[in-house]
């Protein structure tokens, strides 16, 4: 009798466990079908299929898709060397798309231009969060990354409202490669449901290669990319920085207030002292925060270990010791004469000379342009409280193996470049 009761209880427990297991299987099956349906809906949203829930947003989505399709259908244009294919305005921001071509009344005074590979595109999220104004990004992609970049850029412009509103994307690849519309490449969109999921995908791509060490021994055309990003901007002033750098907070608004109160000058650039911060530290927003980190060694001048002379003319000790109240307006603290090998980051009028596209990979790509500004007669005015900060300390051992070889090659090119400036500016008394 006692054994019979035990068997009955065991059967009841076993039956209950089987029912729970069955319910779990049903639940998991439901979740899988729901997720699949959600993915199909997201995909139909991306490409304007019939699966969209609302008709009101459909025309807008189709416009974005058709803009991309048109940009790709042009086949891009070749750069002056014929080595690279450029898709200018692969995807336009709403800000740019709404500007009237015939109008010279551009509401934007200052834009930011930057360049990257997919390896560093994840930095766009925090950069735009800080900048919050029009931004132009030139992306270099090679081989399979051309297709991946096209798909991910489209996804960013679709899922991220701030990017959709403010960011223009340009794509550069080798001349023998072509970008294509990603409608058939569903594998690139699996798991993409919102803006954060796209950036998570980019985070997974971040360590594909180190610095300029790209697959297939391909040269990274940094100056071409800078020019492409610059040429995609229609504003009076431009700030060009690398995508893993961060400007000080409210720079756009402060610069606008400063420039509106000054007499316009076409031969002046406004220098932002450049620093680098330890990887695990929070980016400073204000000069006060930056100076505190600087005083305890958490922040140091940019390239202090690799090339201290490249930033030394900024005169960091003078700048750091200029006390600026938090409410003080942005203004020029002092003006400097360029000396070799200074490569400052600056805000300049859109009329400043372009970067020389012969410089690729590591070395002399920004020095050459600063040198030309000097020969052309530009003044270098250092701002009192604005700055840029690079994420992480630049350390000798972290660079790719061919860095020194590239630097040596570009040094020879720089000598030739300086000779060319004598012909380009025959009346100038300035020399590099």
How far, in Å, CA of 157 to CA of 289, rounded?
33
Residue 51 above 60 pLDDT?
A: no
Q: Model-level pTM greater than 0.75? A: yes
Q: Indicate if the pLDDT at residue 53 is higher than 60.
A: no
How many CA within 13 A on the CB side of residue 35? 9
Give the residue from 179, 184, 214 showing the smallest Cα distance to 88.
Answer: 179
The mean predicted confidence, pLDDT, of the chain is 86
For residue range 351-382, list pLDDT tens digits in order: 999 999 999 988 789 999 999 999 999 999 99
Q: Which two tokens stand for residue 342?
A: 């200074």
Q: Work out the average pLDDT over 109-123.
A: 96
Check if the beta carbon of residue 413 is closer than 8 Å to that of residue 359: yes
Give CA separation, 71 vs 75, 76, 88, in Å: 8, 7, 8
What pLDDT score does 369 carry? Answer: 97
Structure confidence at residue 45 (pLDDT): 56
CA distance 302 to 273: 9
Mean predicted confidence (pLDDT) in 29-52: 46
Strands 345-349 and 268-272: antiparallel
Question: pLDDT per residue over 183-232, tens digit each?
Answer: 766 677 778 889 999 999 999 877 665 556 666 678 899 999 999 999 99
| pLDDT of residue 396 exceeding 90 | no
The token duo for 42 is 């997201």
CA distance linking residue 241 with residue 276, whole number of Å: 13
Closest C-alpha among 196, 189, 187, 181 to residue 146: 181
Mean pLDDT computed over 294-321: 96
Question: In the predicted model, what is the mean pLDDT of residues 119-127?
Answer: 96
- Report CA-CA distances (Å) from 391 to 61, 114, 221, 278, 359: 35, 15, 22, 7, 24
13: phi then psi, degrees, rounded to nearest 5: -65, -45
Lowest-confidence segment of 247-261, 279-293, 404-418 by average pLDDT: 404-418
Nearest to 114 by CA among 288, 309, 314, 345: 345
Beta strand pairing call for 167-174 and 135-140 = parallel
* 279 band by pLDDT with thresholds 50, 70 and 90: confident
411 vs 21: CA distance, rounded Å:
70
């Amino acid at each position: 009798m006692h054994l019979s009761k035990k068997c009955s209880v065991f059967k009841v427990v076993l039956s209950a466990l089987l029912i729970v297991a069955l319910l779990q299987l049903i639940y998991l099956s439901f979740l899988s079908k729901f997720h699949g349906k959600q993915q199909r809906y997201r995909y139909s949203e991306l490409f304007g299929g019939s699966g969209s829930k609302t008709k009101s947003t459909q025309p807008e989505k189709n416009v974005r898709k058709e803009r991309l399709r048109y940009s790709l259908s042009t086949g891009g244009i070749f750069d002056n060397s014929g080595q690279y294919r450029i898709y200018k305005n692969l995807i336009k921001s709403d800000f740019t798309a709404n500007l009237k071509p015939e109008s010279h009344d551009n509401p934007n005074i200052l834009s930011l231009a930057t360049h990257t590979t997919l390896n560093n595109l994840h930095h766009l999220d925090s950069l735009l969060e800080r900048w919050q104004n029009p931004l132009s990004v030139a992306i270099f992609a090679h081989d399979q990354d051309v297709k991946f970049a096209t798909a991910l850029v489209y996804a960013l412009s679709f899922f991220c409202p701030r990017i959709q509103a403010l960011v223009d994307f340009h794509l550069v690849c080798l001349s023998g490669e072509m970008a294509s519309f990603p409608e058939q490449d569903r594998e690139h969109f699996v798991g993409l449901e919102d803006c954060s999921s796209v950036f998570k995908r980019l985070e997974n791509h971040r360590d594909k290669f180190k610095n300029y060490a790209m697959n297939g021994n391909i040269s990274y055309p940094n100056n071409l990319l800078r020019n492409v990003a610059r040429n995609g901007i229609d504003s009076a002033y431009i700030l060009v920085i690398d995508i893993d750098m961060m400007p000080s907070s409210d720079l756009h608004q402060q610069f606008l207030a400063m420039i509106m109160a000054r007499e316009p000058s076409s031969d002046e650039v406004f220098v932002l002292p450049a620093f680098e911060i330890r990887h695990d530290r929070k980016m400073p927003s204000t000069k006060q925060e930056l100076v505190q980190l600087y005083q305890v060694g958490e922040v140091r001048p940019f390239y202090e270990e690799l090339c201290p002379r490249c930033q030394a003319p900024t005169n960091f000790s003078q700048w750091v010791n200029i006390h600026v109240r938090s409410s003080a307006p942005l203004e020029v603290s002092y003006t400097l004469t360029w000396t070799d090998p200074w490569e400052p980051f600056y805000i300049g009028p859109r009329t400043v000379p372009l970067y020389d596209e012969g410089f690729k990979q590591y070395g002399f790509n920004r020095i050459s342009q600063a040198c030309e500004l000097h020969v052309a007669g530009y003044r270098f005015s250092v701002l009192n409280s604005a700055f840029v900060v690079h994420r992480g300390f630049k350390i000798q051992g972290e660079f790719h193996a061919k860095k020194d070889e590239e630097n040596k090659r570009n040094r020879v090119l720089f000598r030739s470049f300086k000779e060319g400036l004598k012909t380009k500016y025959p009346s100038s008394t300035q020399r590099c």
